[in-house]
Amino acid sequence: MGYLRTVFALIACKEASLFGGNSCSCTSASTFYKLREIERLGFAFGVLGPVLASWFGVAPLKGTPIATGWVPQRMLAGLLINGF
């Protein structure tokens, strides 16, 4: 059994070889679940991480209220500007 390398973990593929990039004839459901898990981790670290760091780390250092004073419109604006 060969393994396809991803950023976070190995994904098993029964017919993977060094030269055959498309050697898996059909992808198992576990592969899709693993890729979905990796995508969710990327979303959490790439989008939510910087926004939370800005709200709870940078704001107190600058002397502004944490989480933009808990005003929903300003929180949504920060999420959209910094995250997406």
Q: Which of helix, strand or coil describes residue 50?
A: helix
Range ranked top by mean pLDDT from 19-33, 39-53, 61-75: 61-75
Domain of residue 71, residue span:
2-16+26-83
User: Which residue do the tokens 């991480």 mark?
Assistant: 49
More confident position, 49 or 83: 49
pTM above 0.85, yes or no: no
Asked whether residue 50 is assigned to any structural domain, the reply reads: yes
Tokens read off for 66: 């944490």
H/E stretch holding 35 reads: helix 29-43
More confident position, 75 or 15: 75
Number of domains in the chain: 1
Distance CA 77, CA 83 (A): 10
Asked whether residue 21 is assigned to any structural domain, the reply reads: no
Share of the chain above pLDDT 70, in %: 63
